């Protein structure tokens, strides 16, 4: 194998984005992923990912997501395909709920286009919803759906077109940083490079076992259902609703072949990503369909499929993006806590900056490991 300037561990959303950025900077890149290309064992599969600007979690993410919109459009142009569909988004809950109050704070602070709708206006615009009178919605016209499988594939292909070597089914068993370089070992092979980028998603705490990362893998799941009257659900925006403390249901409008998607955004409990039960149980499906019928009657008429996926949760649900505390030539991005996909190209850019320059001009200081104490 040739000598590489950068090795990337993990080629999901973040590692493939880093490969794209580093390759465009003219660097010799090797990417290694433990699983086959396009696998469904990590965090970057499932047909749709929300992108939204009125960021209820924290206004500090807004400028990063605005940069990501531009980079997704750029990736669309370079790969000659549509990856992002603007649908608008409706973020619902009590007026002082984390979703509505948080989205409003980001929208007002950053001057984003938005409308605040009371329950009667939500009913008038979207009669499919059955919501309580005290529910409000913040409508954001710029929200949309990213196609995760196509996005990751496009990032990989762009990197490969510029010479990156991407090897799948190649699990990194150990890595070490010696002098100014790094050595990475798989079952059969050993590679060296100047720099190492670790983007191992829900496995990050295993790959970075030496620094005791404050991050856990959590299993989550979602359903795709064909409604009784599909056309009633095709013109909905993306939606999120504050259901109970720390529990948010979300949904994606009806699309041919995919039905309506319905998921639950919440922390669950820590699991081992290598042995987690990936099947979705009948009881889990029944719980979801019950909630779906209460909120969108008729929407869960026929179950199409149910799938699980992994979140990489941090205690504060903010990402971790930093240099390794002991090794300057090793950088990592992890702990995307169920909301990282939309940022992938910007995370890739930040990882490339940190790896090659040791710093980044992007506003990512709030994501440093040291904040976790
Ligand atoms: C159901 C679900 C819904 C979500 N919805 C949204 C959304 O609407 N909007 C949004 O922005 N975000 C969303 N997210 C979060 C987002 O998808 C993730 O934050 C993002 O995909 C994380 O990407 P990643 O590259 O960190 O992880 P992954 O995609 O899991 O990639 C990590 C890769 O590392 C590889 N790897 C691990 N260990 C090793 C090793 N030792 N050697 C080699 N390779 C290794 C794995 O095989 C894997 O391919 C959602 C997540 C889930 C699960």
pLDDT at 83: 98
- Expressed in angstroms and rounded, the spacing between residue 50 Cα and the centre of ligand 1 is 14
Is any ligand 1 atom within 6 A of the Cβ of residue 223?
Answer: no
Q: Does pLDDT of 195 surpass 70? A: yes
> Average pLDDT of 7-13?
98
Whether residue 251 has its Cβ less than 6 Å from ligand 1: no
CATH number of the domain bearing residue 209: 3.50.50.60
Are 174 and 196 part of one and the same domain?
Answer: yes
Distances from the Cα of 343 to the Cα of 149, 169, 340, 346, 373, angstroms: 15, 25, 6, 5, 25
Atom of ligand 1 nearest to the CA of 35: 47
What is the average pLDDT score of the chain? Answer: 96
Q: Give the Cα separation of 92 and 76 in Å (integer).
A: 30
**96 in a structural domain:** yes
Answer whether 347's CB lies under 8 Å from 319's CB.
yes
For residue 373, is pLDDT > 90? no
pLDDT digits (tens, 9 = 90+) for 88-114: 999 999 999 999 999 999 999 999 999
- Residue from 10, 169, 238 whose mutation best tests the ligand 1 pocket (most atoms within 8 A of CB): 10
Task: Assess whether 107 and 247 both reside in one domain.
Answer: yes
**Same domain membership, residue 187 and residue 130:** no
Range of the domain at 208: 4-45+148-213+316-372
pLDDT of residue 101: 98
The answer to whether residues 225 and 281 belong to one domain is: yes
Q: Report the alpha-carbon distance of residue 25 to residue 162 in Å, rounded.
A: 10
As a whole number of angstroms, the distance between CA 158 and CA 22 comes to 11
- pLDDT number for residue 2: 56
Q: Average the pLDDT over 183-195 and give the result.
A: 96
Q: For residue 19, what pLDDT is reported?
A: 98
The β-bridge relationship of strands 174-178 and 330-334 is: unpaired
Going 156 to 160 to 163 to 164, the CA torsion angle's sign is: positive
Q: Which of 87-91, 184-188, 246-250 has the lowest mean pLDDT?
A: 246-250
Q: Is residue 105 part of a domain?
A: yes
Residue 72 lies in a domain: no
Are 114 and 225 within one domain? yes
In a domain, residue 95? The reply is: yes
From its phi and psi, is residue 317 left (phi > 0), alpha (psi between -120 and 50) or beta?
left
Residue 64 is assigned to a structural domain of this protein: no
Answer yes or no: is the C-beta of 88 below 6 A from any ligand 1 atom: no
Asked if residue 75 is part of any domain, the answer here is no
> 323 CB less than 6 Å from ligand 1?
no
Residues 200 and 233 in one domain: no
* Domain identity same for 41 and 100: no
Same domain, 136 and 277: yes
Choose the final residue of a domain: 282, 297, 313: 313
- Is the CB–ligand 1 distance for residue 146 below 6 Å? no
Confidence category of residue 120, pLDDT binned at 50, 70, 90: very high
Whether 73 maps to a domain, the answer reads no
In short, whether 13's Cβ falls inside 6 Å of ligand 1 is: yes
Mean pLDDT along residues 226-251: 94
Query: What number is the average pLDDT over the span 132-140?
Result: 97
- In the predicted structure, residue 1 carries a pLDDT above the cut 70: no
Retrieve residue 123's tokens. Answer: 């009913």
Cα 13 to ligand 1 centre (Å): 6
To the nearest whole percent, how much of the chain has pLDDT over 70?
99
Strands (DSSP E) found in 121-237 = 136-140, 144-146, 165-168, 174-178, 181-185, 190-198, 216-226
The per-residue pLDDT for range 303-336, each reduced to its tens digit, is: 999 999 999 999 999 999 999 999 999 999 999 9
Which of 341, 343, 367 should be mutated for ligand 1, with most atoms under 8 A from CB? 341
Q: What is the mean pLDDT of residues 58-73?
A: 98
Look at residues 313, 335, 354 and tell me which one is the last residue of a structural domain. 313
Q: Please tell me if the CB atom of residue 345 comes closer than 6 angstroms to any atom of ligand 1.
A: no
User: Model-level pTM?
Assistant: 0.98
Length of the chain: 373
- Ligand 1 pocket member 200 (CB < 6 A): yes
Claim to verify: residue 140 and residue 92 sit in the same structural domain: yes
pLDDT (0 to 100) of residue 283 = 96
What CATH number corresponds to the domain at position 263?
3.30.9.10
- The helix (H) or strand (E) run that includes residue 19 is helix 13-24
Q: Are residues 186 and 279 in the same domain?
A: no
For ligand 1, the distance from its centroid to the CA atom of residue 117, given in whole angstroms, is: 33
Query: 10: Cβ below 6 Å to ligand 1?
Result: yes
169, 34 Cβ separation under 8 angstroms: yes
Domain count, the chain: 2
Q: What is the mean pLDDT of residues 161-186?
A: 95
- Whether residue 260 sits in one domain with residue 224: yes
Domain boundary among 297, 313, 329: 313
C-alpha closest to that of 65 among 50, 53, 48, 57: 53
Which ligand 1 atom sits closest to the C-alpha of 48?
8
| 231 φ, ψ (degrees, to nearest 5) | -65, -25
- Predicted local distance difference test score (pLDDT) of residue 227: 96
Nearest atom in ligand 1 to 32's CA: 43
Which pLDDT score is estimated for 95? 97
Asked if the structure places residue 117 within a domain, the reply is yes
- Is the pLDDT confidence value at 37 over 80? yes
pLDDT at res. 137: 98
* Ligand 1 and 222: CB distance under 6 A: yes
Backbone angles phi, psi at 93, to 5 degrees: 160, -170
224 and 269 together in one domain: yes
* Cα 122 to ligand 1 centroid, rounded to whole Å: 33
Query: With bands split at pLDDT 50, 70 and 90, how would you rate the model's confidence at 172?
Result: very high
- Is the separation of the CB atoms in 54 and 107 below 8 Å? yes
Mean pLDDT, range 332-360, rounded to an integer: 98
Centroid of ligand 1 to alpha carbon of 63 (angstroms) = 22
pLDDT digits (tens, 9 = 90+) for 268-301: 889 999 999 999 999 999 999 999 999 999 999 9
- Secondary structure of 77-138 in the HEC alphabet? HHHCCCCEEECCEEEEECCCCHHHHHHHHHHHHCCCCCEEECHHHHHHHCCCCCCCCCCEEE
pLDDT for the residue numbered 266: 85
Structure confidence at residue 179 (pLDDT): 80
């Amino acid at each position: 194998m040739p000598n590489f300037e950068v090795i990337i561990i993990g080629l999901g959303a973040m590692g493939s984005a880093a490969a794209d950025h580093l390759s465009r900077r003219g660097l010799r890149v090797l990417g290694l992923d433990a699983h086959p290309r396009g696998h469904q064992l990590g965090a970057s599969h499932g047909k749709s990912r929300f992108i939204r600007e009125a960021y209820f979690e924290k206004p500090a993410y807004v400028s990063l997501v605005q940069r990501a919109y531009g980079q997704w459009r750029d990736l669309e142009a370079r790969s000659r395909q549509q990856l992002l569909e603007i649908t608008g988004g409706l973020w619902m809950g009590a007026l002082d709920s984390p979703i509505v109050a948080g989205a409003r704070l980001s929208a007002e602070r950053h001057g984003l286009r938005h409308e605040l709708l009371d329950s009667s206006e939500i009913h008038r615009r979207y009669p499919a919803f059955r919501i309580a009178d005290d529910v409000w919605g913040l409508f954001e016209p710029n929200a949309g759906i990213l196609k995760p499988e196509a996005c990751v594939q496009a990032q990989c292909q762009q990197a490969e077109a510029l010479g990156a070597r991407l090897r799948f089914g190649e699990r990194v068993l150990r890595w070490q940083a010696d002098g100014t370089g790094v050595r990475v070992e798989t079952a059969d092979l050993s590679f060296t490079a100047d720099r190492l980028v670790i983007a191992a998603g829900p496995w990050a705490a295993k790959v970075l076992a030496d620094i005791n990362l404050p991050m856990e893998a959590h299993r989550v799941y979602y359903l795709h259902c064909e409604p009784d009257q599909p056309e009633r659900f095709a013109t909905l925006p993306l939606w999120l609703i504050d259901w109970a403390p720390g529990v948010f249901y979300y949904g994606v409008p009806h699309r041919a072949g995919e039905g309506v998607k319905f998921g639950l955004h919440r922390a669950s409990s820590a699991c081992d990503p290598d042995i987690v039960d990936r099947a979705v149980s009948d009881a889990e499906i029944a719980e979801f369909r019950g909630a779906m019928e209460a909120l969108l009657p008729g929407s869960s008429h026929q179950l199409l499929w149910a799938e699980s996926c992994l979140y990489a949760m941090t205690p504060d649900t903010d990402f971790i993006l930093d240099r390794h505390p002991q090794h300057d030539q090793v950088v990592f991005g992890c702990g995307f806590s169920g909301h990282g996909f939309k940022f992938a190209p910007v995370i890739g850019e930040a990882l490339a900056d940190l790896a090659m320059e040791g710093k980044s001009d992007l506003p990512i200081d709030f994501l440093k490991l040291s904040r976790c104490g």
